[in-house]
Amino acid sequence: MLRTSLATACFVMGLSGCTSLMDKHVEWEYVEPANYPVLYATGYAPLSAQQGKGETSKMLQAMRASKLDAYRELTEQVYGQKLEGEQRLSDLVLTNDNLRASVQGLIRGAKVVKTYPVGEDSYATELELDMQKVYEIYLTTARPKRVKQVKYY
């Protein structure tokens, strides 16, 4: 009986490992990147393709569209593009060939550098994304960390 309870006690201690015998204190350290790149993107939109009653409303629409196009380009730089392709063969003859591209992501901290007309029928918008500013925004929400020191007692 004594042997069985001693064996059981040893087995339970073996399963619990050293964690129950020692407490520890983990000290964390925040990680900062070595350098911060600045990304640039330019978006374009045709003036004549915009819907609106007058030239002013078409101009404003083209400015907005060029800004969205610049944001799309920034998103591509940060997150990349998702490509889906499909080809169909029938009797070893290509009957259908499709390629789709999409971009999805969240851009925070971008700054409009300038919006200007290009020629007579287009508008362009230039954006700038300072990755140091993005990192600072990220720190306010996620606080990334790594183990700095572990003390066992």
pLDDT per residue of the chain (153 residues) written in tens, 0 to 9: 555 665 565 555 555 555 555 678 777 777 778 899 999 999 999 999 999 888 899 999 999 999 999 999 999 999 999 999 998 888 778 888 899 999 999 999 999 999 999 999 999 999 999 999 988 888 888 776 777 778 787
In a domain, 140, yes or no: yes
In a domain, 14, yes or no: no
In a domain, 121, yes or no: yes
The rounded distance, in Å, linking the Cα atoms of 106 and 134 is 11
In a domain, 52, yes or no: yes
Residue 12: per-residue pLDDT: 57
In a domain, 7, yes or no: no
User: Per-residue DSSP letters for 109-140?
Assistant: S-EEEEEEEETTTEEEEEEEEEHHHHHHHHHH
The rounded distance, in Å, linking the Cα atoms of 103 and 81 is 5
In a domain, 56, yes or no: yes
In a domain, 40, yes or no: yes
Residue 25: per-residue pLDDT: 78
How many domains, the chain? 1
Tell me the residue range of the domain where 98 lies.
Answer: 25-152
In a domain, 18, yes or no: no
* pLDDT tens digits, one per residue of 38-56: 999 999 999 999 998 888 9
Q: Tokens 């925070």 identify what position?
A: 108
